[in-house]
Homo-oligomer: A and B are copies of this chain.
Amino acid sequence: MSAHPDPGADARTTGEPLRIAVIASIAHRTPPSGYGPWEQVASMLTEGLVGLGHDVTLFATADSITSARLHAEAPRGYEEDPGVDAKVYEGLHNAAVFERAEEFDVISNQFDFMPLTYSGLVATPLVTTIHGFSSERILPVYRAYDRRGRYVAISDSDRHPDLSYAATIHHGIEVDDFTFRARPDDHLLFLGRIHPDKGTHRAIEVAQRAGLPLVIAGVVHDQDYFRDAVRPQLGRRGITYVGAVGPGERDVLLGGARALLHLIGFDEPFGLSVVEALATGTPVVAFRRGSMPELVRHGRTGFLVDDVDEAVAAVGEIDTLRRRDCRDDVERRFTARRMVADYAELFARVAGREPASVSR
């Protein structure tokens, strides 16, 4: 034992706690009470980082729930309270983070592109998770901050060729929140936003041709689509719409399904419901596009198909898959623990090697 311990020794060990700011979306509270995938990921990351012993400040709505320190500018989510002006509070929210930047070793941005535009004004490194591109029209801002953005892709498929990335980090889930079911009920399941992108109408067609009941769950994001393509099908031939579902119902519906039908009409950057289904043992029939080949192991945890005909055939073969394999794959690849560890490693790397320059 030395009388003069080296005060820098702890800081050089690998496990040194970092001072981390997490910027959550303020569309909803964190974690979201209903829909809100960005807020869900921000919450999981925040709680996981706290669990690893890091010193975390979560920037989120005032009604958010966290074991980290909470800094709130917006009283509630702008999607949940018409009195909350989205632009005003997005500005105040981002400003609050960067005005406190000196207090943090790294800032994790889970809230789209606007934080990038503040990042050149502070020395603290920003790591930006790109939760998909809503449109090519948002690319100019990602291009402008490519050199200092330290982008995280949420799937390899979502990497844009114009941008450079610090890492791909797949989302994870709390596997213990999902109950493994060795024997499902008889229904197929559609779970997600009711929107053409998510292919609700294709799920209906496949279920009808396969002669199996279909449960549809999720919030309606496109009213015209729901009215024209979904509602006329309800109540006949075993097509049921149960609305938005909470975590408990979600677990029951997922675990009871023979398969999740994920016949998407866009290159989905990640599909949390796909991973959640697998966690309950339910295989997934998905269109072979976007992140699906990264999430579903064809012929083992589901089937990747190219059209409705193939989807119908895949449903016919669904019993050839072992539900235990689905669960095992999630435990191996898609746990919250793995996701948090990936981020923690990236943050340590970024915090340790950052130059002081603040130019773009």
A88 contact from B92, B99, B141, B360, Cβ within 8 A: B141
Shortest Cβ distance from residue A148 to the other chain B in the assembled complex, whole angstroms: 11
B contact residues around A98 at 8 Å (CB): 121
Q: How far is the CA of A203 from the CA of B67 in the complex (A)?
A: 61
B contact residues around A117 at 8 Å (CB): 91-92, 94-95, 118
A138 at the interface (CB under 8 A from B): yes
Shortest Cβ distance from residue A102 to the other chain B in the assembled complex, whole angstroms: 11
Q: How far is the CA of A98 from the CA of B88 in the complex (A)?
A: 19
A87 at the interface (CB under 8 A from B): yes
Question: Please, how many residues of chain A have a CB less than 8 angstroms from a CB on the other chain?
Answer: 28
Interface residues of A in 79-97 (CB under 8 A from B): 83-85, 87-89, 91-92, 94-95
In the complex the two chains form, is A92's CB within 8 Å of B144's CB? yes
A24-60 CB contact bits vs B (8 Å, 1 = yes)?
A: 0000000000000000000000000000000000000
B contact residues around A85 at 8 Å (CB): 135, 137-138, 140
Interface residues of A in 123-143 (CB under 8 A from B): 135, 137-138, 140-141
Q: How far is the CA of A94 from the CA of B117 in the complex (A)?
A: 8
In the complex the two chains form, is B140's CB within 8 Å of A92's CB? yes
A122 at the interface (CB under 8 A from B): yes
B contact residues around A196 at 8 Å (CB): none
A113 at the interface (CB under 8 A from B): yes
A120 at the interface (CB under 8 A from B): yes
* Interface of A: prevailing SS: helix
In the complex the two chains form, is B120's CB within 8 Å of A91's CB? no
In the complex the two chains form, is B95's CB within 8 Å of A120's CB? yes
Most buried by B among A113, A141, A359: A141
In the complex the two chains form, is B92's CB within 8 Å of A121's CB? no
A292 at the interface (CB under 8 A from B): no
Shortest Cβ distance from residue A31 to the other chain B in the assembled complex, whole angstroms: 25
B contact residues around A313 at 8 Å (CB): none
A207 at the interface (CB under 8 A from B): no
In the complex the two chains form, is B99's CB within 8 Å of A137's CB? no
B contact residues around A88 at 8 Å (CB): 113, 137-138, 140-141
A275 at the interface (CB under 8 A from B): no
Chain B residue at minimal CB-CB distance from A360: B99
Q: How far is the CA of A12 from the CA of B118 in the complex (A)?
A: 34
Q: How far is the CA of A320 from the CA of B116 in the complex (A)?
A: 60
Chain B residue at minimal CB-CB distance from A101: B121
Chain B residue at minimal CB-CB distance from A140: B88
Q: How far is the CA of A85 from the CA of B113 in the complex (A)?
A: 12
Q: How far is the CA of A94 from the CA of B83 in the complex (A)?
A: 26
B contact residues around A166 at 8 Å (CB): none
In the complex the two chains form, is B121's CB within 8 Å of A91's CB? no
A182 at the interface (CB under 8 A from B): no
Q: How far is the CA of A88 from the CA of B140 in the complex (A)?
A: 7
A332-360 CB contact bits vs B (8 Å, 1 = yes)?
A: 00000000000000000000000000011
Chain B residue at minimal CB-CB distance from A137: B85
Q: How far is the CA of A117 from the CA of B94 in the complex (A)?
A: 8
B contact residues around A141 at 8 Å (CB): 88, 91-92
The 8 closest A-B pairs by CB, nearest first: A95-B117, A91-B117, A121-B121, A85-B137, A99-B120, A88-B141, A88-B138, A91-B114
- 6 CB < 8 A contacts A-B: A83-B137, A85-B135, A85-B140, A91-B114, A92-B144, A118-B121
